[in-house]
Amino acid sequence: MMKLRILTAVAALTLLFSLTARAQRLPVRDLEDARGKTVSSATLVDHKTPFAVTFWASWCKFCRKELDALAEQAPDWDTPLRIYAVCEDDSRSIARAKALAAGSEWPAVILYDANGEFKRALHVGDIPHVLVFDKDGNQVWSHVGYIPGDENTLVAELLKAR
């Protein structure tokens, strides 16, 4: 009975949070570019266009499928979309991730989050996880997981946020 009460309390809290929560702001954290130079996440906000942040890793099959799917439809986009692919590979596989990204045609700026600080600040658990922010850095949509076809929803959400 006690366990049931606790579970109910947690579920109620979650529901309450979901009803009261406002749009999450893009947290300011240091990331790295492919050359190891520091890039603040604050520079992603240009106050002109919305953007998407998608978390991926070289060992995450579905993350790569999502980025491949975006690459396949990118030539059909009327205007370029701003997508940042934040890599969660750690020191073990970051070289492989960089080689993989360099050899791909992903329509995204690749950034690296070596100890997962940016991911933790955005409360991202499993990846792939994609978040869409408006031009001022307010989160307007997020989606966890990837099923083929989800890339269409992402593009639609990015266009809607314009």
- Alpha-carbon distances, residue 33 vs 21, 43, 65, 81, 84 (angstroms): 32, 12, 22, 19, 11
Pairing of strands 139-144, 38-40: unpaired
Least distance in angstroms from the C-beta of 3 to another protein:
6
Least distance in angstroms from the C-beta of 21 to another protein:
4
Q: What is the 3-state secondary structure (H, E, C) of 70-120?
A: HHHHHHHCCCCCCEEEEECCCCCCHHHHHHHHHCCCCCCEEEECCCCHHHH
Is 28 one of the binding residues for another protein (CB under 8 A)?
A: yes
Q: For residue 138, give the DSSP letter.
A: B
Rule CB under 8 A: choose which of 124, 155, 158, 161 binds another protein: 124
Rule CB under 8 A: choose which of 49, 74, 109, 121 binds another protein: 121
Is 12 one of the binding residues for another protein (CB under 8 A)?
A: no
23 in helix, strand or coil?
Answer: coil
Rule CB under 8 A: choose which of 46, 48, 77, 116 binds another protein: 116
Is 92 one of the binding residues for another protein (CB under 8 A)?
A: yes
Rule CB under 8 A: choose which of 49, 74, 93, 109 binds another protein: 93
Is 46 one of the binding residues for another protein (CB under 8 A)?
A: no
Could you tell me if 26 and 139 are in contact, meaning their C-beta atoms sit under 8 angstroms apart? Answer: yes
Rule CB under 8 A: choose which of 24, 49, 74, 135 binds another protein: 24
**Distance from C-alpha of 158 to C-alpha of 53, rounded to nearest angstrom:** 11
Is 16 one of the binding residues for another protein (CB under 8 A)?
A: yes
**Distance from C-alpha of 58 to C-alpha of 95, rounded to nearest angstrom:** 10
Q: State the Cα angle at 160 between 43 and 68, rounded to 5°.
A: 70
Rule CB under 8 A: choose which of 43, 76, 78, 149 binds another protein: 149
Residues in contact with another protein by CB under 8 A are 3, 6, 9-10, 13-14, 16-18, 20-22, 24-25, 27-28, 35-38, 59-61, 65, 72, 90-93, 95-96, 98-100, 102-105, 114-117, 120-126, 129, 141-145, 147-150, 152-153
